[in-house]
């Protein structure tokens, strides 16, 4: 590709100034309005010293200001670092330091946390929404990016427990938007509802896709099943991305058939349970299950509604922008490998981690899967015993590392247990000195760890089941905790 | 973009084997069938010695074999050189030599012409459709291309009269398909009708787009207004690309409203006359006018049906994959410049022509245009006095160069004259020795030049109108020929 990527928002503002770009709780905003606000935001960032190539971190819940910030950072040629708003100070500080962030922008509710994290990381005090300073708007506008320029760096954890920054480029985002459109379809006038956090790739990709498509985005500040149900009808939504938990709660409050203009309900974060699929089908919800990763700028494979029951538990077939391989003989389970223009060029300043993950152009996901005879993907085990709870990824290694820092804990194993509402719950088995009450340990962890990562259950055990080579056997830990016979 | 482009057809055959890929006069063909035929074709080419990077030229009218050849050449990692089937032996031989073609593939009606051109160019005797030799199908399959790898080289002429090979990459094609989809929309089950020649970018891009979208392509061997009219209904066509002449002739035979599932009638090759637009609107034809170039892998800008009358004569607004500039003060006419991921990396082995055309990332089209206050593009004059006749581009310099090779012709000027059926007709004014009858010169030209390039009128004049610096004033030539006062 002749490598120029344009300022997609500026383009849309020029081509379709009066078309609705964003619907939020304040009303509808045209592309011209959004473009102006982004200019104002970019002016403020520029006045604050942001230069091309700088990393600008964002700590905020969903809000129109976040959408503006995403585009403003890009317009300055800077790189966005979206931070998970659920993290604790210590976790945030690590990412701020790792990405060598020049500026942190927070929303008001997270301003204090952000300030503490910035202090700990040696980053200037954060700017807080609304960025309403009177800025000289005459900033140097970056009108085009190379395809390989980073648009953002998103952190994910992994085996080591240390989060790594996944670099996603303009080219990755364009390819992802194209692959999604060529699979799910796109029409002028479409509207994609974002209730997933914009600091995750599943949310952020909606922001980018919408300007590329010139379609509208309906933004929810937080998940509410009643608000979602009303919005699907009122806001003429055609696409919505959710996790299974959200779909479940939506159907619990709304027994009406799905609004007829909704063409796609994209469900990520693991397979949808059969009972839920059947309820959704009965109400004509067009449920498209998807398997995706931060490293692939979101969707890798999708399962069409028509196949949902026949291929129960499958994540479907790859998009045209992704190639999928299972590193095993045909039909056997093995590691899922992905290649194609959606795949990240690598982890920020982690050449070794990059070389380990991307070999011969194939991203080694760490997830275990199987392809059936017809090419449908079944994801059997998430990478590195990843736990997915309510759509958030939890890496056992990170939780175990913290547990071992507690003065009384000698050994720890963290696993996911099945849960009807959240998909999985985080649970820990520990070997600990006498005198340590699990509830105290939980409170101690809550100060240091995002709430969704703190084990719902911590159980003391006599010993952890180990392999001959001294590795914890997580499968047996899961059985212990599920069965209750741990002491 | 992490630069891997996949084998899009193989992907579609894996993901949707039973979906209709191609509709032709033999019936409907699924992606699985097309994929198998392409494998067979690639096997034949491989047995004929085609290696990765080789140029494979194609001289054929529209046919399913052409679609197969396009994909087969790509699957071998070779580069397609589509030749205009209307060219004469001499013109073809130039392009075969210039592209250093390894193999030429012809259809049966063009086999003799192709053989003569190959002989003249020193290329092995052509293979002729159907390529039904029993080939060992075990060819080395190229499963992925870099984004910047050439998919094809398409020849266009220019000021010098010598055709240049425009290199179009996989990345160009993906960006073009994305830009088109993000503008016109795409839905699973769509069908794009190709009646434009596949040896032009307007036709070839339908082949590529269809596999990228996983949608169907309806192929017509040649233009017939009655066949087109019937096909739009019978074949459930949603998109069709035509030139204005075709639309005119379609409406002349069919006074019924446009089939309701047709969402886009894409009309290229210059603005549609007002009277035709009004007839089309009255019959609910969704006419989308477009401005495009070979150098941009087709569409650059489009004008939506709703704007057709209000912005009469405009080519509309740019796609999200193209940036448009007019090299002049705001509102004034100037050269049209284009940048973005659809722009060719350059002309095949013509570094100087490439450097002249692409400067600072902007393609200098040579076309003259104006942007109005709302950003609508008006193309005022085609580059280098380009003549567009029935959708075919004719470059005066090329025709003039041939005229000057005739023993009696001393001076020549070629211009386009308005024509209700073809948009423009080619006409020549010559200064010639006594004894040369224009009709003899025409016959002499017909042996050497594609029919559409041969002037419909050749008029002898006393002298050509010249500028002080000795340049022919084409505008005055046009007036002379239009007014008839030339001798």
Report pLDDT digits (tens) over B139-174: 999 988 998 999 999 998 755 567 899 999 999 999
Stronger pLDDT, A4 or B272, i.e. the higher one: B272
Q: What is the pLDDT of residue A43?
A: 94
Looking at every residue in chain B, the average pLDDT score rounds to 91
Q: What is the CATH number of domain A386-483?
A: 3.30.300.30
- Kindly list the residues from chain A whose CB atom is less than 8 angstroms away from the CB atom of residue B213: 182
Residues in chain A closer than 8 A to B2 (CB atoms):
169, 171-172, 340-345, 361
Using 50, 70 and 90 to split pLDDT, how confident is the model at B4?
A: confident
pLDDT band for position A5 (50/70/90)? confident
Exposure string for B314-340, b = 16+ CB within 10 A, e = fewer: bbbbbbbbbbbebeeeeeebebbbbbb
- Least confident among A90-99, B118-127, B306-315: B306-315
Q: For the segment A418-458, what is each residue's pLDDT rounded down to a tens digit?
A: 888 888 899 999 998 887 788 999 999 998 889 999 999 99
| pLDDT above 90 (res B364) | yes
What is the pLDDT at residue A3? 62
B409-419: strand order across its sheet: B409-419, B423-432, B457-460
**Which candidate from A8, A170, A182 shows the least CB-CB separation from B186?**
A182
In the predicted model, what is the mean pLDDT of residues A12-39?
Answer: 96
Read off the pLDDT of residues A206-264 as tens digits, 9 standing for 90 and up.
999 999 999 999 999 999 999 999 999 999 999 999 998 899 999 999 989 999 999 99
- Round to the nearest angstrom and report the end-to-end CA distance of chain A: 61
Q: What pLDDT, on a 0 to 100 scale, did the predictor assign at position A358?
A: 95
Nearest chain B CA: its distance from A361 CA (Å):
8
Which pLDDT score, from 0 to 100, does residue B178 have? Answer: 96
Helix (H, G, I), strand (E, B) or coil at A131: coil
Q: What is the pLDDT of residue B353?
A: 93
A23 has a pLDDT exceeding 90? yes
Pick the closest to residue A371 from A316, A331, A315, A414 (CA basis).
Answer: A331
Per-residue model confidence (pLDDT) at position B390: 82
pLDDT given at position B1? 36
CB nearest to B169's CB, from A1, A174, A361: A1
Residue pLDDT, tens place only, B408-444: 988 889 999 988 888 889 999 999 888 778 899 999 9
If you average pLDDT over residues B251-277, what whole number do you get? 91
Is B144 within 8 Å of A342 when comparing Cβ atoms? Answer: no
**Does residue A63 contact residue A222 with C-beta atoms inside 8 Å?**
no
Same fold, A4-380 and A386-483: no
Mean pLDDT within A112-130: 97
The residue extents of the domains of chain B are: 4-380, 386-483
Q: Indicate whether A55 pLDDT > 70.
A: yes
Distance (Å, whole) CA A321 – CA B25: 31
Q: Does position B261 have pLDDT exceeding 50, yes or no? A: yes
Give chain B positions within 8 Å (CB) of A170: 1
The reply to whether residue A174 touches residue B178, judged by beta carbons under 8 angstroms, is yes
pTM: 0.87
| Chain B residue nearest residue A172, CA to CA | B1
> What's the rounded Cα separation, in Å, for the pair B438 and A308?
72
A-proximal residues of B, 174-233, CB under 8 Å: 174-175, 177-178, 181-183, 185-188, 212-214
CA distances to B56, B117, B454 from B105, rounded to whole Å, are 7, 12, 26
**Is A4-380 a domain of CATH 3.40.50.300?**
no
pLDDT of residue A485: 53
Q: What's the confidence (pLDDT) of residue B469?
A: 63
ipTM of predicted complex: 0.85
Q: Which residue has the higher pLDDT, B108 or B269?
A: B108
Between CA B217 and CA B193 the distance in angstroms is 6
Q: Per mean pLDDT, which range of A133-137, A346-350, B32-36 is the poorest?
A: A133-137
Residue B33 has pLDDT above 50, yes or no: yes
Tens-digit pLDDT profile for residues B60-88? 999 999 999 999 999 999 999 999 999 99
Average pLDDT on B247-269 reads 94
What pLDDT, on the 0 to 100 scale, is given for residue A2? 40
- Mean pLDDT, chain A, rounded, equals 91
- Is B83 an 8 Å CB contact of chain A? no
pLDDT tens for A323-359 read 999 998 988 889 999 999 999 999 999 999 999 999 9
Which residues of chain B from 152 to 171 reach within 8 Å of chain A, CB to CB?
169-171
**How deeply is A171 buried, as exposed, middle or buried, from its count of CB atoms within 10 A (0-12, 13-18, 19+)?**
buried
The two most distant CA atoms of chain A are separated, in Å, by 69
Cα–Cα distance measured from residue A12 to residue A213, given in angstroms and rounded to the nearest whole number: 9
Q: Which of B173, B261, B161 is CA-nearest to residue B218?
A: B261
Residue A231 near residue A216 (C-beta atoms within 8 A): no
CA distance B255 to B279: 9
Chain B residue closest in CA terms to A147: B1
- Whether pLDDT at B125 is above 80: yes
Beta strands in B101-236 (DSSP E): 101-106, 127-128, 144-146, 150-156, 164-169, 191-194, 216-219
CB of A131 closer than 8 Å to CB of A65: yes
CA closest to B209 among chain A residues: A182
The token pair that represents A245 in the structure block: 């938990």
Q: Which of A117-121, A271-275, A387-391, B469-473 has the lowest mean pLDDT?
A: B469-473
Torsion sign, CA atoms B233, B238, B243, B248: positive
Give Cα B100 to chain centroid, integer Å: 21
> What is the DSSP code (8-state) at residue B186?
B
Range in B121-125, B341-345, B472-476 with the lowest mean pLDDT: B472-476
Give the confidence band of B2 by pLDDT, cuts at 50, 70, 90.
very low
Nearest Cβ partner for B1 among A6, A339, A341: A341
- Position B354 pLDDT exceeds 70: yes
Identify all chain B residues contacting A183, using CB atoms and an 8 Å cutoff. 188, 214
Cα dihedral sign, B146-B149-B151-B157: positive
Distance from CA of B9 to the nearest CA of A (A): 9
* Band of residue A1 on the pLDDT scale cut at 50, 70, 90: very low
Per-residue pLDDT reduced to its tens digit, B177-199: 999 999 999 999 999 999 999 99
A141 touches B: beta carbon within 8 Å = no
**Contact A375/B12, CB-based, under 8 Å?**
no
For the segment A8-19, the average pLDDT, to the nearest whole number, is 95
């Amino acid at each position: 590709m002749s490598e120029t990527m344009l300022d997609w928002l500026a383009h849309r503002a020029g081509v379709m100034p009066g078309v609705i770009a964003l619907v939020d709780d304040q009303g509808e905003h045209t592309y011209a309005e959004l473009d102006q606000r982004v200019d104002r935001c970019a002016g403020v960032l520029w006045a604050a010293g942001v230069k091309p190539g700088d990393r600008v971190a964002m700590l905020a819940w969903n809000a129109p200001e976040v959408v503006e910030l995403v585009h403003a950072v890009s317009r300055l040629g800077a790189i966005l670092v979206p931070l998970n708003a659920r993290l604790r100070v210590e976790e945030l500080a690590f990412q701020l330091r790792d990405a060598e962030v020049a500026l942190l922008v927070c929303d008001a509710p997270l301003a204090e946390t952000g300030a503490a994290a910035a202090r700990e990381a040696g980053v200037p005090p954060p700017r807080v929404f609304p960025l309403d300073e009177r800025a000289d708007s005459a900033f140097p506008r970056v009108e085009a990016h190379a395809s390989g320029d980073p648009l953002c760096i998103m952190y994910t954890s992994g085996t080591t427990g240390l989060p790594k920054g996944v670099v996603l480029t303009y080219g990755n985002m364009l390819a992802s938007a194209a692959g999604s459109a060529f699979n799910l379809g796109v029409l002028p006038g479409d509207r994609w509802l974002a209730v997933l956090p914009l600091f995750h790739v599943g949310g952020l990709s909606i922001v980018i896709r919408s300007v590329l498509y010139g379609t509208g985005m309906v933004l929810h500040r937080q998940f509410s099943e009643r608000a979602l149900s009303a919005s699907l009808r009122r806001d003429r939504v055609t696409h919505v991305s959710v996790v299974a938990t959200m779909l479940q709660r939506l159907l619990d409050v709304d027994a009406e058939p799905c609004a007829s203009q909704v063409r796609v309900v994209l469900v990520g974060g693991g397979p949808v349970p059969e009972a839920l699929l059947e309820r959704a089908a009965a109400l004509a919800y067009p449920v498209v299950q998807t398997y995706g990763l931060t490293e692939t700028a979101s969707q890798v494979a999708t399962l069409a509604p028509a196949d949902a029951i026949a291929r129960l538990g499958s994540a479907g077939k790859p998009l045209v922008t992704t190639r999928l391989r299972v590193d095993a003989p045909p039909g056997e389970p093995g590691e899922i490998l992905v290649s194609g223009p959606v795949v990240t060029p690598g982890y920020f300043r982690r050449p070794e981690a990059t070389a380990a993950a991307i070999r011969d152009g194939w991203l080694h996901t760490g997830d275990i899967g199987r392809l059936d005879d017809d090419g449908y993907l079944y994801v059997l085990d998430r990478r590195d015993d990843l736990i997915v709870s309510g759509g958030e990824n939890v890496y056992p290694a990170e939780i175990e590392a913290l547990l071992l820092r507690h003065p009384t804990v000698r050994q720890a194993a963290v696993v996911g247990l099945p849960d009807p509402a959240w998909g999985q719950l985080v649970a820990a088995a520990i070997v600990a000195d006498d005198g340590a009450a699990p509830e105290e340990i939980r409170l101690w962890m809550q100060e240091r760890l995002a709430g969704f990562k703190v084990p719902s259950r911590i159980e003391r055990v006599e010993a952890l089941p180990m392999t001959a080579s001294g590795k914890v056997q997580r499968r047996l830990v899961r059985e212990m905790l599920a069965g209750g016979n741990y002491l």
